[in-house]
């Protein structure tokens, strides 16, 4: 019986050697024929869109409302089952499906061209000064100094006093999408040991003005669950 032992060892060594791959280029051997309904390939030029970034990053207009919950506490609670906070959805706003880097998104306006979203980031989320100036840059405005940013007005959110940003200008998203004239942005940023929370609303200036009360009410309604 023991005489087979060296043979077994040799076989095992051969098998293991066969498993290792050479350092050179690997040949692509897997090929599959596509069925008729697979042949049309959906090529997307914008990387932001391809990576399913939020529409602001993708440079697109506010996502058009495609169904979703209506306003009110009940709808909000239904949409936020997994989120560690509660809110009240303002009248006329429509909750959007969750997207990467956005915990909560809404669209509003006749064609859904206004949008508001909430993001949470760990730590300081890049810092208050960097984020306020990033938002100003998206509206084509010059950066503010740290002292100017600290002096910005405050609004309540999550029981804290958040830094309130209200700026108007020419809006362009992070992905270098179309430039939109006469836009306005409202935003509140709060930071705590638990992380940073950003609420940002953008849209045509007139539409934003008509939704400013709703924005304030939404921010004030945000509370830890």
Of 201, 177, 203, the C-alpha closest to 60 is 177
CA distance linking residue 181 with residue 172, whole number of Å: 9
Q: How many residues sit in the footprint of other proteins (CB under 8 A)?
A: 47
Of 107, 86, 84, 85, the C-alpha closest to 95 is 107
Q: By CB under 8 A, tell whether 174 contacts other proteins.
A: yes
Asked if 173 and 138 count as a contact pair (C-beta separation under 8 A), the reply is: yes
Nearest-approach distance from CB 41 to other proteins, in angstroms: 5
Options 8, 16, 28, 147; binder of other proteins; rule CB under 8 A: 28
Nearest-approach distance from CB 105 to other proteins, in angstroms: 12
Options 89, 94, 105, 131; binder of other proteins; rule CB under 8 A: 131
Q: By CB under 8 A, tell whether 221 contacts other proteins.
A: no
Of 178, 161, 100, 167, the C-alpha closest to 133 is 167
What angle (nearest 5°) sits at the alpha carbon of residue 56, between those of residues 142 and 38?
150
Q: Hey, which residues between 74 and 103 contact other proteins (CB under 8 A)?
A: 78-79, 97-98, 100-101
Applying CB under 8 A, which part among 28-36, 106-114, 146-154, 161-169 lies near other proteins?
28-36
> What 3-state class would DSSP assign to 214?
helix
In the complex, which residues of this chain contact other proteins (CB under 8 A)?
Answer: 1, 24-28, 30-35, 38-45, 47-53, 57, 67-69, 78-79, 97-98, 100-101, 121, 125-127, 130-131, 134, 174-176
């Amino acid at each position: 019986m023991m005489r087979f032992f060296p043979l077994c060892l040799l076989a095992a060594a051969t098998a293991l050697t066969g498993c290792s791959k050479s350092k050179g280029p690997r040949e692509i051997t897997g090929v599959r024929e596509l069925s008729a309904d697979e042949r049309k390939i959906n090529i997307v030029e914008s990387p932001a869109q391809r990576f399913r970034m939020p529409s602001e990053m993708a440079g697109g207009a506010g996502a058009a409302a495609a169904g979703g919950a209506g306003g009110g506490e009940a709808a909000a609670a239904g949409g936020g089952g997994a989120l560690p906070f509660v809110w009240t959805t303002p009248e006329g706003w429509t909750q959007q499906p969750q997207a990467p880097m956005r915990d909560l998104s809404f669209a509003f306006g006749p064609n859904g061209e206004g949008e508001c979203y909430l993001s949470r980031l760990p730590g300081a989320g890049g810092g208050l000064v960097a984020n306020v100036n990033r938002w100003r840059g998206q509206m084509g405005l010059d950066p503010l100094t740290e002292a100017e940013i600290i002096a910005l007005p405050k609004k309540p959110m999550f029981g804290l006093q958040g830094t309130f940003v209200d700026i108007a200008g020419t809006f362009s998203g992070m992905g270098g999408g179309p430039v939109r004239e006469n836009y306005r942005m409202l935003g509140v940023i709060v930071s705590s040991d638990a992380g940073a929370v950003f609420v940002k609303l953008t849209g045509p200036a007139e539409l934003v003005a008509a939704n400013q009360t709703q924005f304030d009410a939404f921010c004030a309604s945000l509370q830890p669950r």
